[in-house]
Chains A and B, each alone.
Chain A
Amino acid sequence: MKILEKIINIDRRVIFLLIGLVVFIPLLFKIVTPTKISEPVKKAYEAIEALPPGSNVMISIDFDPTSAPECMPMYIAILRHCFKRNLRVIVLGHIAYGIPLGEIGLEKVSKEFGKKYGVDYVNLGFRPGYTAIMVGMGREIRDFYAQDYRGTPIDSFPFMRDVHNYNDIEMLVDIAHGYSAELWVQYAGARYGQRIIIGSTGVVAPDIYPYLQSGQIEGIIGGMKGAAEYEQLLKRPDMAAIGMPALSISHFFIVFLIIMANIGFFIRRRKR
């Protein structure tokens, strides 16, 4: 019965170690289990897939580090899709401390595809104010972003010379942890007919579904699960896809722990 006592009063560091391993091992070996692809993600993927090479895709980084585990994978997946299809990427954002995440993603993925700054992509950085910029860019991007985040005039990049307003943006992707998605739909979408895809945290996603139903947006990527589906469509499983088994297993593991604790508890109680 010593074993029983040990199970009941197990050092919590053993549990910590096990949880760590349950998450770490599936990640390390990149175990990928196929996930059912949901309709909104499929639509998003197909919309990008249908863009002719050389199209301009604007990506708005509207999330911050606390929601990065959910939002970063979908951002990376979208970037990969764009670069794979030789689309040009323009990154900007409305949250000051979200922009570094945009830069980290660009640096990583551009290297994978051998893309060059100023030729294949630019980072315009952060400007305060949501609606003013969203509306204003319908007229002229330079009113707000005459320079990129490093202060280089955007006209010094050949492809940006032809980009003036939403007419020159074939697709807008908003990766959002808050209400910015709604604003993009309202100001860029409805007013200027901009085509939009939304990527959002699992919590926000349900609020955005009505826009997909009404045809105001082209697709939704919701939460880590949505990102995993997108990665699967890309045939390039990464953080989200290889995170899925870890997510499932750890949940089952915690339930298993609770059951074990209770079995031990009952046997001991019966003995008394």
Chain B
Amino acid sequence: MKRGVPLIITFVTGVLIIIAFFIPHKPFGNLEQRFLIWYSIVAGFTMLLGIDSLIKYHIRKIRFREKGWGYSIVTVTGIVITLIFGFYSWYAYHTPLALGSPFMWLYTYMIVPLQSTMFALLAFFIASAAYRAFRARTIEATLLLIAAALVMLGRVPLGEALRLKLPAIANWIMEVPQTAAKRGIFIGTYLGAVAMSIRVILGIERTYLST
């Protein structure tokens, strides 16, 4: 029951998905879609496990006064307020994301700036990573940094203004050598995925189940 049944479930689900792909007739035609919807539902339930894990983690920190427990109060308060705002807006406006609802306010003035600023940190990190890592140690590394520099310069208005055909060069690098290597990597990667999937369906790879 603990190990056998899950292996059978994986096998049957995997094989059904593959077979259904080739059969348009009912009930196979929309089986893939149906399974994915089921997956979304399972994921929705599991979200409760997730939020519970997060709350427990921080409650524990608060209870044992572990280092930084004060900030844990911030997280827990954030969760509680958001849940209240969310369910209130859902109830009062029929959808949580109604314009003017408290839930939407939370999204617009807290999540959006946090999200976009976190995202914008990449502008800094991309520069520091380039500075540190792009050194012409080997032929490969040299070509990498030259390709990076050419594409960078070819994409901006100032690069265009230099009249060195930089945009054309950048486009060529993207369309020819870049495409070629990407294809090679894609072919390898997805062959790997096929083999991995077969191992999983056959039950040879079963790390995700403990005994």
Among B123, B124, B131, the one with the most A-chain Cβ atoms within 10 Å of its Cβ is B131
Of A94-102, A135-143, A172-180, the one contacting chain B is A94-102
On chain A, the residues within 8 Å of B152 by CB distance are 251, 254-255
Asked if A258 contacts B158 (CB within 8 A), the reply is no
Known contacts A126-B99, A255-B149, A262-B145, A247 near B128 by CB under 8 Å: no
On chain B, the residues within 8 Å of A99 by CB distance are 99
- Minimal Cβ-Cβ distance residue in B for A248: B158
In the complex, per-residue mask of B95-126: 1 if CB is within 8 Å of any chain A CB, else 0? 10101100010011000100110010001101
Asked if B149 contacts A100 (CB within 8 A), the reply is no
Which of B95, B131, B136, B153 is in CB contact (< 8 Å) with A96? Answer: B95
Which of B128, B134, B137, B159 is in CB contact (< 8 Å) with A248? Answer: B159
Which of B97, B116, B132, B136 is in CB contact (< 8 Å) with A12? Answer: B132
Cβ of B155 within 8 Å of any chain A Cβ, yes or no, is: yes
Asked if A261 contacts B132 (CB within 8 A), the reply is yes
Of A15-23, A109-117, A207-215, the one contacting chain B is A15-23
- Minimal Cβ-Cβ distance residue in B for A126: B99
Cβ of B135 within 8 Å of any chain A Cβ, yes or no, is: yes
On chain B, the residues within 8 Å of A150 by CB distance are 100
- Minimal Cβ-Cβ distance residue in B for A202: B155
On chain B, the residues within 8 Å of A35 by CB distance are 157
Cβ of B130 within 8 Å of any chain A Cβ, yes or no, is: yes
CB distance from B98 to the nearest CB of A (A): 8
- Minimal Cβ-Cβ distance residue in B for A68: B116
On chain A, the residues within 8 Å of B108 by CB distance are 97, 100, 104
Asked if B159 contacts A262 (CB within 8 A), the reply is no
CB distance from B91 to the nearest CB of A (A): 16
CB distance from A248 to the nearest CB of B (A): 3
Asked if B97 contacts A96 (CB within 8 A), the reply is yes
CB distance from B169 to the nearest CB of A (A): 14
In the complex, per-residue mask of A28-62: 1 if CB is within 8 Å of any chain B CB, else 0? 00000101100000000000000000000000000
In the complex, per-residue mask of B69-109: 1 if CB is within 8 Å of any chain A CB, else 0? 00000000000000000000000000101011000100110
Which of A16, A36, A251, A262 is in CB contact (< 8 Å) with B156? Answer: A251
A33 to B124, CA, bound (A): 24
**Interface residues of B, Cβ cutoff 8 Å to A:** 95, 97, 99-100, 104, 107-108, 112, 115-116, 119, 123-124, 126-128, 130-132, 134-137, 145, 148-149, 152-153, 155-160
Can you list 27 A-B pairs with a CB-CB distance of less than 8 A? A10-B131, A15-B131, A16-B128, A33-B158, A65-B115, A66-B115, A69-B116, A96-B95, A97-B97, A97-B104, A100-B99, A100-B107, A149-B100, A244-B157, A248-B157, A250-B123, A251-B159, A252-B153, A252-B156, A252-B159, A254-B126, A254-B152, A257-B127, A258-B148, A261-B131, A262-B136, A266-B136
